[in-house]
């Protein structure tokens, strides 16, 4: 059985978020409707990381919401339902029932139901002398599950957020559980982005013989954290199918099940792994129950 049910049309919405949450949600809807106007048969809309708030560790609490009762969850659900489209809702700060904050991504089906919830597993804590210091763990808690799920009418997907892409295990788990797509809403910066963004997308695609979707915020002309942009789709052979620039725009791609099937048949690494020598991480992964 193919990892994808059919040809899947995706639209990646690359825009930047400001300090006004309602304005950010309004912009997200405008970009979504523009994408659907240009490509009415879109199967999945993909939003960027932290699309309802600035990407700032000292601001996450001010924009955090509970799930499923928060306004951003309701907004995404209505967006999906009203337009009969699946939505990978980027990410936004979640206030958990435990009182902790999480960087969380939700996926909605075409009737507005949550079909996946991923809390960012790997928090972005770095210190590059003279260039950048950033510590997500100063305000966020990490998630504790790999997220693999079935999207009706599309197929099986894996989900990660930004820094999660540096750790190959989440994509490995997804691919070995049948995923044909690995999606990463992400906000790499202008220091790490040029060095690594494309390389990680290509690496995860080739290693796991699936499509990789990377959706970034646009660069913010008003200052603050500067996202790299360059939202892209990489095919199972590691080819960049489409790539945005660094400004606000929408890019489109069509994901084809035969491309996943062909590369997995021609180079059958899934059957050639030596689990008598090394462990299969998919067997021991703690996976989402959604």
Angle (CA) 79-85-89 rounded to 5° is 55
Distance of CA 195 to the CA centre of its chain: 19
- Of 2-6, 57-61, 190-194, 257-261, give the range with the top mean pLDDT: 257-261
Under the banding of pLDDT at 50, 70 and 90, the label for residue 23 is very high
Superfamily the domain 8-284 falls into = Carbon-nitrogen hydrolase (3.60.110.10)
Residue 97: its H or E element: none
Q: Can you list the alpha helix ranges (DSSP code H) found in 39-137?
A: 60-63, 71-83
Q: Name the active-site residue from 120, 141, 243, 256.
A: 120
Question: How high is the mean pLDDT of the chain?
Answer: 95
Under the banding of pLDDT at 50, 70 and 90, the label for residue 31 is very high
Lowest mean pLDDT among 11-20, 97-106, 165-174, 220-229: 220-229
Active site residue 30: no
Active site residue 50: no
Q: Name the active-site residue from 27, 49, 50, 117.
A: 49
Q: Name the active-site residue from 65, 117, 162, 259.
A: 162
Token pair 């260039």 in the structure block, residue? 131
Active site residue 162: yes
- Encoded tokens for 255: 């994901």
């Amino acid at each position: 059985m193919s990892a994808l049910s059919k040809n899947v049309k995706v639209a990646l919405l690359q825009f930047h978020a400001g300090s006004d949450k309602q304005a950010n949600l309004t912009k997200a809807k405008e970009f979504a409707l523009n994408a659907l106007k240009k490509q009415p048969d879109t199967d999945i809309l993909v939003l960027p990381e932290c699309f309802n708030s600035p990407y700032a560790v000292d601001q996450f609490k001010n924009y955090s919401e509970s799930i499923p009762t928060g306004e951003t969850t309701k907004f995404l659900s209505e967006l999906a339902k009203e337009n009969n489209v699946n939505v990978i809702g980027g990410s936004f700060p979640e206030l958990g029932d435990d009182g902790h904050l999480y960087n969380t991504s939700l996926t909605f089906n075409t009737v507005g139901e949550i079909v996946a919830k991923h809390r960012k597993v790997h928090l972005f804590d770095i210190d590059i002398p003279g260039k950048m210091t950033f510590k997500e763990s100063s305000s966020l808690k990490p998630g504790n599950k790999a997220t693999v799920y079935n999207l009706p009418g599309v197929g099986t997907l894996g989900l990660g957020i930004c820094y999660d892409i540096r750790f190959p295990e989440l994509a490995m788990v997804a691919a070995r559980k049948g995923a044909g797509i690995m999606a990463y809403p992400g906000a790499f910066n202008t220091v790490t982005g040029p060095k690594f963004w494309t390389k990680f997308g290509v690496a995860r695609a080739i290693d796991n013989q699936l499509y990789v979707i990377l959706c970034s915020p646009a660069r913010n002309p008003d200052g603050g954290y500067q996202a790299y942009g360059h939202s892209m789709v990489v095919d199972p052979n590691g080819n960049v199918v489409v790539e945005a620039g660094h400004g606000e725009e929408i890019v489109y791609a069509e994901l084809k099940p035969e491309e996943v099937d062909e590369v997995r048949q021609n180079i059958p690494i899934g059957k050639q792994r030596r689990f008598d020598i090394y462990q299969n991480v998919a067997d021991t992964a703690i996976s989402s129950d959604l």
